[in-house]
């Protein structure tokens, strides 16, 4: 069934209330509310989050909002893919009942000024190359959590730093929402699914799986006994320094081995640490990560 579509906050509140009351009456208890926040251009990675929500929750809500607050000037806000109709079909196929897809002016009316900041987790890695990005993410996610009031919220582990920031925010602010990180979904050749993969030219698409292969090799090297982070990172950088045609194409933003909670770099890698990577392929910035371990 096609989900209800709310384009305004007041419409969303009304629809949410109706659905939750109806479900409470049917179940004879308070329903468990699930939420998947997205920026649309949905793909199989999002489908896996929606499928998990469908399994766990009595009421299933998603948002589709390309959040201007998390894009810096000169980034891809204008060309970010917008595919509302196809997104609603995918939501329908995964049993989503209510979609909030507001206009920017609805979320950020004139005079809006609040920002949520996590000075520790948000400054490094993607936060260093995209100043203000995670303030925009945390602000919109807190606002969405307040509107949806979910028991469970599902986010992809592909955006590992984002996941950690939202989990930390939920813990710090004692939110009622449990934030669940779902596994990365990959193409058959290893490329992590991302709405931004649609920017890649044919040549770039062919080269793109090298990022996950570099991480795989680092993990294999770790499993065969190498624990020195600097040597593991040097391996990964070497792998990204050439392409099959011999033309260097990658511009590595960062490649790091970090503690899974603090995201601080570790000198000696151990099981459970996370390989984090961001690199440019032409005009497209790709990110990926992998947990160290079997
Ligand atoms: O990962 C995303 O799509 C966005 O950063 C999110 C969490 C929906 C906030 O705009």
Residue 244 has pLDDT above 70, yes or no: no
**288 CB under 6 A from ligand 1?**
no
- pTM for the predicted model, two decimal places: 0.97
Q: What percent of the chain has pLDDT over 90?
A: 96
Phi, psi of 113 (to 5 degrees): -140, -5
Q: Determine which helix (DSSP H) or strand (DSSP E) holds 229, and give its type and residue range.
A: helix 229-239
Q: At 60, phi and psi to the nearest 5? A: -125, 120
Write b or e for each residue in 126-144: b if 16 or more Cβ atoms lie within 10 A of its Cβ, otherwise e.
Answer: bbeebebbbbbbbbbbbbb
Q: What's the first-to-final CA gap in the chain, in angstroms? A: 40
CA–CA dist 21, 12 (Å, integer): 14
Q: Is 39 in the pocket of ligand 1 (CB under 6 A)?
A: yes
Give all domains of the chain, ordered by start, each with its CATH number: 4-182 (3.40.50.620), 195-289 (3.30.1300.10)
Q: Is 140 in the pocket of ligand 1 (CB under 6 A)?
A: yes
pLDDT confidence of residue 294 = 77
Determine which residue's CA is closest to atom 5 belonging to ligand 1.
137
Number of the ligand 1 atom closest to the C-alpha atom of 156: 1
Please report the pLDDT score of residue 50 as a whole number.
Answer: 98
pLDDT at 1: 86
Quote the pLDDT of residue 134. 98
Q: Is pLDDT at 102 greater than 90 in this prediction?
A: yes
Give residue 233 CA to ligand 1 midpoint distance, Å: 28
Q: What is the mean pLDDT of residues 195-211?
A: 94
CA separation (Å) from 173 to 34, 70, 138? Answer: 19, 21, 12
For 152-180, the DSSP string reads EEEEETTSHHHHHHHHHHHHHTT-SPEEE
Percent of the chain with pLDDT over 70: 98
Question: What's the gap in Å between 180 CA and the centre of ligand 1?
Answer: 14
Report, as an integer, the average pLDDT of 224-235. Answer: 98
The residue whose CA is least distant from atom 1 of ligand 1 is: 38
210 touches 187 (CB < 8 A): no
């Amino acid at each position: 069934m096609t989900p209800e579509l709310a384009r305004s906050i007041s419409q969303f509140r009304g629809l949410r209330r109706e659905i939750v009351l109806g479900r409470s009456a049917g179940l004879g208890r308070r329903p468990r509310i699930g939420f998947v926040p997205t920026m649309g251009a949905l793909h199989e990675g999002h489908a896996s989050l929606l499928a998990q929500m469908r399994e766990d929750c009595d009421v299933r809500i998603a948002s589709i909002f390309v959040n201007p607050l998390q894009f810096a000037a000169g980034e891809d806000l204008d060309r970010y893919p917008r595919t509302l109709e196809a997104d609603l079909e995918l939501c329908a196929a995964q049993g989503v009942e209510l979609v909030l897809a507001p206009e920017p002016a609805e979320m950020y009316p004139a005079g809006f000024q609040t920002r949520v900041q996590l000075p520790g987790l948000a400054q490094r890695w993607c936060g260093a190359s995209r100043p203000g990005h995670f303030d925009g993410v945390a602000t919109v996610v807190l606002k969405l959590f307040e509107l949806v009031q979910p028991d469970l919220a599902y986010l992809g582990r592909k955006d590992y730093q984002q996941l950690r920031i939202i989990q930390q925010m939920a813990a710090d602010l004692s939110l009622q929402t449990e934030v669940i990180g779902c596994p990365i979904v990959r193409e058959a050749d290893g490329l992590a699914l991302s709405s931004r993969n649609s920017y890649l030219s044919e040549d770039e698409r062919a080269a793109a799986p090298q990022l996950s292969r570099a991480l795989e090799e680092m993990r294999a090297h770790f499993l065969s006994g190498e624990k020195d982070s600097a040597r593991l990172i040097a391996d990964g950088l070497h792998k990204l320094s050439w392409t099959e045609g011999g033309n260097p194409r990658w511009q590595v933003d960062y490649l790091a081995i970090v503690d899974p909670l603090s995201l601080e770099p570790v000198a000696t890698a151990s099981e459970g640490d996370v390989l984090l990577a961001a690199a440019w392929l032409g005009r497209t910035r790709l990110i990926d990560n992998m947990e160290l371990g079997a």
